[in-house]
Each structure stands twice: as C-alpha cells, then as structure tokens.
Structure 1
Amino acid sequence: MAATLLAAPVAAADSASDQCTFAKTNHKYSGTPWALQRVNLDQLWSESKGRNVKVAVIDTGVDTANPQLTHAVAPSLGANFLPPKDDKGQEIDRGNSKGTTDTVGHGTRVAGIIAARPMKGTGFVGLAPEATIIPIKQNDAEGHGTARTLARAIRHAINVKADVINISQDTANAIPPDEDLHRAVDEALAAKIVVVASAGNDGLGGNVKKTYPASYPGVLAVAASDRNNERAAFSQSGDFVGVAAPGVDMISTVPKGGHCPDNGTSFSAPYVAGVAALIKAKHKDWTPRQIVAQIEQTAERSIAGYDIRVGWGVVDPVRAVTEDDHPIESPHPDAGLTHAEAPTPAKLTLGETPQERTARIATYVAIGVAVLVAGLGGGAVALRDARRRRRGRVGTS
C-alpha cells in the first residue's frame, strides 16, 4: 500500500502568510512569552530540568545554528529520512544526514519549546532546558512527509533510546494511514517511550474527528489552548484528546538565530513533551502510561472531568512535577463534583397529615402547660406578698 501523505505541520491559520517567517538576521524576543509567564519556572526547575532525558523531534529538522539550540541537540543521534527526490522526480533539499538543518523552521521552533537553553537578552527558554533533542528529519521544504518515513523515523528514535517522541504533524484529511505507522507507535510504547502528538488544526466550527497518529491508543494527543485557558478556535476536538497546552502566539527559536511567534497544536505538543521530559528525569522508573496519567491528572480544569475540547484540562507543569507522591495509571475526575446530585424536593401534600396533626396538638399541650405553670407560680407569689403586707400592718398599729 502506498504511504499516506501527511498534512504539513504548519500553523493553525489557513493562509501561509500568517505563519512565522524568518531570515538570516532575526529579531530576538527580549521579554518572557505569556506561555512561560503562567509557570513559576524557579519552582518548576527546583524539581527537574530534564537532565539526561532524550526527546526525539520528528519534523523538518532542527537548526543548531540557533545559539539556544547549539548545545541542546545531539547531532550524533540524528537522522534524515527525506528521499533524494519527490514524487515528481524533483531533487529534494535534504540538508545533512543528521537532521540538523531546517529550511522550513517548524522543527526548530518545536525543539526550542522543549529544550532551548537560557540566553542573556531573552526571556524565552525551553521548559526542560537540560533535556537533549534528537533531530529526526522526515518533512520536506513544504513541510510534507509520508506515513512510511514517519514510521521509519519513530523506529530510529527507538534505536537511539529516546525517552520521549514529539510528533507535530497528522495525516491529511484525518485518513487512517498505512498500518505500519500504527505498529511503529506500538513499538515505541513497548520500548517505554512517551509519545506525544499534536491533535491537529482543523477544529474551526466545532469540527470533531480523529487524527493520526494522535488518536492511536497510548499516544498523548495535545490540543491548543489560548491565554484564557480555553480551546483555541482552530484546535481539533475529539475523544482522543488527552490535554491542551498553550498554542497561540507561541514564541520560539528559528533557524540561524532569534525568535518569532506562531500558532497551532504543533507548538502545544512540544510544551507537553517538555513536561514529560521533566517528569521522566525525576521519576526514571515511571512507565509512559504513568507519565501521561500524571500530566492529565494535574492539568488545570474548568470542569471536574473530561472534555473533548481540551481533554483533562490545560497542562500545569508545576503541579505535574510537585503533586507526584506516587504514580497513577489513569486520570480521574475531581472528587465531589462530577456526580453531584440536585437536592431532592420535599413531597407536596395537600391538607394536614396525621403526623402534622399530632405535632400540632403536642405543641398546643406544651404551650398550655407552660402557661398554667406560669399562672400558678404567679398566683403563689401574689398570695405570699399579701400575707406579708397584713403582718406588717398588725405589727405597727
């Protein structure tokens, strides 16, 4: 069976003019991006920085010329699975064989969100700044790849012992690809690798459908959220979505140096992959299922349970690495909210029931006794006072 063409791992906008662009001299973002402002980085990094965790970025390559990525990438572990020619016989600009060139810029932005090193003059940094990026190139200059080369890329990540795999792409028209891709994903999970994938950007108008490889069992599918922790309008919805993460105006690294913003679930996925790297570094013996469940359980929720738009909620990096006393196998709804029941209305009765009549009579009797006791007591006091007055008059006459 012919390999299925993968949708270009581009931004959420329909128009290419809205995508991030870069040049030889790029602007350096001096502030701290909003997606990082929502995280207490000092508290986060006091728990983990992702040291010794390898994250495979299967994408358009990762340009190590960006100084924030130069020491974050392991070229010796990288690979390039682009064919020498496209389906029209035209030569493909493959770059080098290690995946450390990027003519599109997409993979470089993805890698930066995961593991960009701190640098003076910018507030941008990766969530796991001590993790190592494995650059695996399988998308061409237009951002396209095939299910066949994606499967090969996943198996390469397995061979070089990746701990996390980030896949910021999905099949065109949400068509299930060649079954070999599914097998490759299962092999990665069996090798105890956390697989994170973008949910897709075809969610305008509330569109609900499965995307691949995000909807394969065991894969953590990531939707995009905005600054209000709500689903971004473009983000794909579906019962396969695990969590959401920031995916709007995402600042990240670009080839040659500098930064630029972009939108899409492509940039939500690496945000979560970075959190997975932090957990893996702290809990080396946790399984992929436990790491995924931890991310889902500690996500910030607007409702008590699951939602097809944002899954279990918007990922909370700090909670994910601090509320971790013991591993869990699956997330669960917040206690006491999901199954709350409305109060039971009182039974409507017309007229007086026997019970009510008995209670009424008992009340009347009690009141009557109280009045009688009060009256007798008052009469006794009056009689005593009258006798004292008479004795007083006799004594003074």
Structure 2
Amino acid sequence: MTLSPATLSGDAPRRALALAAATLLCSLGLPFTTAAAEDDSQCTYPDEPYEGRPWSLQRVQLDRLWAQSTGKGVRVAVIDTGVDVKNPQLTRAVDVKSGINLIPKDAKDANGNKLKRGKEDGTTDTVGHGTRVSGIIAARPAKGTGFVGLAPDAVIIPIQQNDADGHGTAATLATAIRHAIAKKADVINISQDTADAVEPAPALREAVEAALAEEIVVVASAGNDGMDGSDKKTYPASYEGVLAVAASDRNNERAAFSQAGEFVGVAAPGVDMVSTVPLGGHCADNGTSFSAPYVAGLAALVKAKHPDWTQRQIVAQIEQTAERSVARRDRLVGWGVVDPVRALTDDEKPVEKPVAREAALRAEAPTPAAVHLGETPEQRTARLATYVVVSGGVLVAAIAGAAVALRDHRRRRNAPAAR
C-alpha cells in the first residue's frame, strides 16, 4: 500500500498526477509515499498574489456565513508537509508553539544525501502542500487579494509529517494524530490517502479512534484515483467516523479524478483551488487534498458556533445540509456538495446522522372526476331555476302589457267625439 498525495495539479487533469517521492519500507512493513509528492512547476515560492475572489468562495455568501461564525478559538491540526508562516496570510493563523516536525532526523533524499532538516515546530514547507491546505482553512484577510480562509479566525496546528521524499509513514501519521490530540485540536485535516486498497496495521486506526473519542472531527481526502470510475477504499478516509471528502467542480459534480466509494461522506470544491504558498502569494491546484481543508474549515465554523456539539453531530450537520441531486447518499459525492451557509443557518437542533431529503415524493393519485352520461342533479337544479326566472319575467311583461292596453282602451272610450 502507498500513502499518496491527494492532489492533481492543473486542470482535471491539466497534467498527470506526478509522484516524485521515492517509496520506502516503513516500520509496519508497508511502502508509503509523500502526501504531496507532485510536480509543482506551476507554482513558485513566493508567487504572485491572486487579486480576485476564487470561485470556491464566490459560491458562498461570506458575509452571511461569517455573521454566524468565523471559527474563532477553534484549533485545526494540519498533518501535512509543514506550514510556512512567512506567507503574511498565515503568520497570525498558526500556533507555532504547538507545532512539531516528525520527519526523521537522519532522513535522506532519493540520492542518499542527508536532508537539511526543517524547523522543529513544523513551519518549514519546501513542498508547499501543507501551506496551501492551511490557507484554505484559515488564511487571514489581506489587502490586494480576494482569497481568504473559510474560517479566518481558526488556529492552525502545524504538524510536518511528510515531505517530497516520502518520509511519511503510517507510523508517523499515527504519531501526528496523537500529537494533535495532545495539543487540544478540535479538527484534524489529513490530505493524504492510500493508493492501494490495503488497510494499514492497527496503529493508524487506533490513533483515529482515539481522536474521535476525544470529540475531534477528523477530515480526510478521498483520493485522486477515480479516473477509471472504480470504487476503492483509501485510508484513513474510509475508517469509521472519518469524514471522507471527494472533489467537486464548478458545476457541483464530481471531479473526474476524485475517488468514488461508499465511504465518501461529502464533496467540496477541488478544481482550480487558489491558496497560499510559502514565502507569500498564491497558486492554484486541483485535488481532493484541497477539498478536505474546505470541509475542515466548515467544521471549524460549526464547532465555533456550537461548541457543545459532538464530533458526530458536526459531521452529520455538514452531511445533512449538503446540496445533493439525489435524496440519498451516493458513491460519487456522498451526501452532496457542502453548503457552508446552510450548515450554519439550518441548525436549530443537532442531528445524529443525515437522512434522505429533497426526493421526488410518491404522491397519491388524484381522484378522477365522476363521469355522468345524463343530466347531473346540479345541472337539473340550474335548469329549473333558469326556467323559473325566465317564466317570471315573461309573466311580469305580459301583465304590464295588458295594463297598458286596458288604460289606452279606457282613454279612447271616454274621449269626446270630434266635431
């Protein structure tokens, strides 16, 4: 099994998913690759700022959304390739003291050269993947750009667990999850997935279960191996309790690369996703890697508004309020494409699990009208009433005419004769 990037750079697909990282045998005896081992030739660090409002944010009424919640006080652990706080939109968004670097201290690149170790607090990101993921969640507003995180007051816990040389393993991912628990994360985002349908050893599942037991919302990308249309479980997305996120396009349909499966919970924008890059600026990329943080940001908004809700209730709320084309859950987009405003406004009471809605209900057939070959009682009554009215009118006219004729006759009889 391999742990692969849940990203597809460029249009869908603008360029093939490139895995630049070498695989290695981890302590669990399974080969893994990096969470973001991709060709980032379209991005430079720093990059030019994106001046407009990305389409993924245009689809949301942000003022209405943020009137309900901005994610203030919610802590989101980003288990990825690190988070570069040199990008001004992330400088104040990251809790540096809670961060950690889990890349082995003796790590070497594919050529056997010892890697230059990044900062111990997880704020080194040479790949740029974790920085983009974090921006989608909690980038602060800034002049000169319409890009901003969905939860602009949430706090990021940077956990550098993987790199371009594939040093992330199931064991380090489990360690990263437990670190997030220790640092009081409310939400965990994992934009990594297994490329083969082989379940890791129990350590990873046990770490996920520990996070869920602490009422932490765990969000994971579904993966980018969906081009062939086949269903395939990926991990940790397919673990029970994890909110697995597929990618949707501008038409609210599944992006062609997005992995399908019965484990998919919801979908979120994952095509041409603009976000922050190391050192400053923005670039766009595709993949379920960027759909997952969109949902993690939404989870932070719901958590901030409803701090007493359980992680299951938060997940159910996101699923229940998603925009769907069918009433039920389906294998392509789960319960539908997330609707942030609806999730924050259609929330009078928590739900424990989503239910089918907005279906074409089976209505009762209308009662057919009775067919009368002859005159109906109503028609007969109307006819008789008409006869009475007409006859009365004729009688009145006859009486009036007779009276006039009698009057004229009397006048002629009594008149004097002409001389």
TM interval, shorter chain, is 0.7 to 0.9
> Structure 1 CA distance, aligned partners of 2:323 and 2:230?
23
Choose the corresponding residue for 2:350, options 295, 306, 327.
327
Aligned twin of 2:341: 318
Using the alignment, how far apart are the partners of 1:9 and 1:390 within structure 2? 107
How far is 1:320 from its partner? 2.3
Alignment of 1:35-184 (within 5 A): 35-83=56-104, 84-85=106-107, 90=112, 91-142=114-165, 145-184=168-207
CA distance in 2 between counterparts of 1:18 and 1:92 reads: 19
Q: CA deviation at 1:190?
A: 0.3
Q: What SS does structure 2 have at the residue aligned with 1:173?
A: coil
The Cα offsets for residues 283-332 of structure 1, whole Å up to 9 and x where unpaired, read as 22111111112222222333444333222222222232233332222223
Give the deviation of 1:241 after TM superposition: 1.8
Mapping of residues 289-308 of structure 1, within 5 Å: 289-308=312-331
Name which of 395, 400, 403 aligns with 1:380: 395
CA change 1:21–1:65 in 2 (3 A) is farther
TM-score by length of 1: 0.87
| Residue among 2, 5, 8 paired with 1:8 | 5
On the 8 A contact 1:60/1:143 being kept in 2, the answer is no
Contact preservation (8 Å) 2:140, 2:149? yes
For structure 1, the 5+ residue unaligned runs are none
Cα distance 1:203–1:161, how it changes in 2: closer, same or farther (>3 A)?
same
Which secondary structure state, in structure 1, belongs to the residue aligned with residue 88 of structure 2? coil
Assess, with a 3 A threshold, how the Cα gap between structure 1 residues 20 and 72 changes in structure 2: closer, same or farther: farther
User: Aligned partners of 1:386 and 1:75: how far apart in 2?
Assistant: 110
Pick from 278, 288, 291 the counterpart of residue 268 of structure 1. 291
2:309 is aligned to 286
Q: How many residues align?
A: 386
Unaligned runs of 5+ in 2: 19-37, 414-419
- Residue 134 of structure 1 aligns to a residue whose secondary structure is strand
| Matches for 1:206-355 after TM superposition, within 5 Å | 206-334=229-357, 337-338=358-359, 340-341=361-362, 344=365
Amino acid at match of 1:173: D
Kept in 2, the 8 Å contact 1:54–1:162? The answer is yes
Q: Note the aligned Cα RMSD (angstroms).
A: 2.9
Contact 2:84–2:278, Cα closer than 8 Å, also in 1: yes
Q: Which whole-Å CA distance do the structure 1 matches of 2:331 and 2:108 have between them?
A: 37
Q: Secondary structure at the match of 2:82?
A: coil
Tell me, in whole angstroms, the C-alpha distance in 2 between the residues paired with 1:255 and 1:107.
9
Report the structure number with the largest CA radius of gyration: 2
Using the alignment, how far apart are the partners of 2:132 and 2:352 within structure 1?
Answer: 32
Q: What is the one-letter code of the residue matched to 2:399?
A: R
Matches of 2:61 and 2:267 in 1, distance apart?
19
Deviations 1:333-388 (A, max 9, x none): 33xx425125637789xxxx9x846x646467546645654575356346524542
Contact 1:104 1:142 in 2 (8 A): no
Q: Is the 8 A contact 1:80 1:94 kept in 2?
A: no
CA displacement, residues 192-222 of structure 1 (integer Å, 9 cap, x when unaligned): 1010111111222433332221121211111
Residue 28 of structure 1 aligns with which residue?
49
Sequence identity of aligned pairs in percent? 61
The secondary structure found in structure 2 opposite 1:109 is helix
